[in-house]
Copies of this chain bind each other. A is one copy, B any other.
Amino acid sequence: MKSAVRIDTGELKSQAEQVAGLLKMLSHPNRLKIACELCAGEASVSALEARIGAAQPNLSRDLARMREVGLVVARRQSKSVYYRLADDRLARVIDALCAAFSTGGQKRSKRTRN
């Protein structure tokens, strides 16, 4: 068996510009980790800093960029600023990526977890 499933990429191709832009946002380890963390719920900058282990200014800059394109939103509570996903766009992509990268690199043409 070679490539069992035939994927219909038509819709993806037609949105290639936007999708590529979104992927670019996730094409840096820190931002990818941010997205993962925020999928679990709201988090403050310092919490993200601790979990991700990135320099705070860089984190802040990444969060600003994600905020500018409307992927995340911020909420200030006293000293801290809490970030969360703006909508389910990012969660869907992260979910899809989790599916694609789950269980190491097991060869499998259909998703097993469903």
Contacts and interface: CB of A to CB of B under 8 A. Distances in A.
Interface of A: 3, 5-9, 11-13, 15-17, 19-21, 23-24, 26-29, 31-33, 36-37, 39-41, 85, 88-89, 91-103, 105, 107-111, 114
B27 A97 contact: no
> Within the oligomer, what is the number of copies of this chain?
2
B110 A8 contact: no
A20 to B, nearest CB: 5
Interface of A is mostly: helix
Nearest to A25: B27
Most buried by B among A6, A12, A31, A85: A12
B105 A89 contact: yes
